[in-house]
Amino acid sequence: MPIPFFNRPTKTPISEQETTSNFQVGNLILRILSRLLAIPLFIIIYRLLPSVNVPWHLDKIILFVIIAVALHTIFKFLKKITLWIFTASMIFLLIGSLNNGYGFKSMLQDYVAMIYTMMYDPVPVTLDIAKLKPFPNQRNIRRAIDFTNPKVRDFSLRAVNLHFRQESTSNPYRNLIQCMAVFKEINNHWNYVNDPKSRDYYAKASESVEFLAGDCDDHSTCMAACIKAIGGTTRLVLTTRHLYPELWIGYKKDLEHVNYLVRKILFAEEAGKEALHYHIDEDGKIWINLDYTARYPGGKFMAEEILGILNV
């Protein structure tokens, strides 16, 4: 029996099916984008709000949902522009990935580092350059930093092969990771020994790498020489009763990545829940503490007045 015309199932035209499919894909992209951007925005806003004791973290859940919905609504209102920007970004990242440039992997590393730094802020420590005095005993200290000595270079290469070799492979911060391998080798074995009474003895780094012992002056010159031997940049900081080395890690844009590297990957056990402390100079360069009292690069600075700085 033939089916009456008015009861026959109607077929959706192919063009309408494609439009519906494109609409669903577009909405999916917008939902993903709104949730990805909601995470850092949530962390920023939540830190600005007063703390409230709410069971099951309902305050966090509600705030995140509100932010995600708001972003999704904005993206839907500007749907065409948002999707065009998204498509162009995907093409850019794809080309970068194929050409070993800035690609999907780099973007993921940036995103993870940004989120981690928002959760665990590095701590800037003010440094009053105007109060600095001429650095004493510069000649003796510079002589002790004999970074061209083969013993110093050999020690640094052994440290680089012992620590973080896998982590430094194909990493844009490879040289910094290698400098931190030197820090780990020296600080793991350093034995503090006083100078002879009534005089300062500045041991050469080539002597110190053999015994890994001495006072704060010897530790500082040893660290500075070993790091300089593999291309790192350090400086020495003089306080009222102490001398310690600092490592240049880059600028503000590098801080998020270094913070993540140190506290999450390289020195997770040593750092624990402690923050990364740093000095920032008048040129915007960021320096972290490499003192023998620090269990990880960027540990707390000595609570003493800084008297002078010697660039190595």
Domain stops at, among 60, 93, 119: 119
- 109 and 144 belong to one structural domain: no
Domain that holds residue 195: 124-311
Place 204 in a pLDDT band, splitting at 50, 70 and 90.
very high
193 and 78 inside one domain = no
What pLDDT, on a 0 to 100 scale, did the predictor assign at position 5? 47
CA–CA–CA angle 237, 238, 242 (5° rounding): 115
| Residue of higher predicted confidence among 50 and 216 | 216
Helix (H, G, I), strand (E, B) or coil at 103: coil
194 and 289 in a common domain? yes
Inter-CA distances, 220 with 133, 143, 181, 286, Å? 19, 13, 16, 18
CA distance 128 to 134: 14
Per the listing, tokens 């070799």 go with 165
Residues 112, 210, single domain; the answer is no
pLDDT digits (tens, 9 = 90+) for 219-251: 999 999 999 999 999 999 999 889 999 999 999
Is residue 31, in this structure, part of any structural domain at all? yes
71 plus 134 within the same structural domain: no
- Pair 91, 136 in one domain: no
Separation of alpha carbons 48 and 69, rounded Å: 20
What was the pLDDT predicted at 101? 77
pTM reported for the whole predicted model = 0.71
Tokens of 99: 């050409």
